[in-house]
Amino acid sequence: MSSPLFDLREMLSGRVVVAGRIVSIANGSARVATAQGVVEVALDGTGNVGDRVSVRDGRAIRVQEAVEVPVFWV
């Protein structure tokens, strides 16, 4: 079990990486839906609405999606 105060300190220090999805993009910034809520950050590189990103130090960095592997039922 984690402490909310400890979690907040980690988030404010920028050491915690938060994952989420881009919900809107405007003027070089992106709104990202995370488990902790929606945050507005600078978009690092290119991205589209719906892309998975990691948020660190106030920037959203696109996460490369895993390639789908075919499933074979035997």
How would you write the pLDDT of the chain (74 residues) with one tens digit per residue?
567 777 777 767 656 678 899 999 988 889 999 888 898 998 877 788 998 998 887 888 888 765 667 778 88
CATH of 17-62, one of 2.30.30.140, 3.40.50.620, 2.60.120.620, 1.10.10.410: 2.30.30.140
pLDDT at residue 19, rounded to an integer: 87
**Which residue, 37, 36, 40, is CA-closest to 59?**
40
pLDDT at residue 15, rounded to an integer: 61
pLDDT at residue 22, rounded to an integer: 92
Containing 42, the helix (H) or strand (E) segment is strand 37-44
Residue 55: CB atoms within 10 A of its CB come to: 23
The model carries a pTM of: 0.64
pLDDT at residue 2, rounded to an integer: 62
Q: Where are the domains of the chain?
A: 17-62
CA distance 62 to 4: 27
The tokens describing 18, both together, are 């938060």
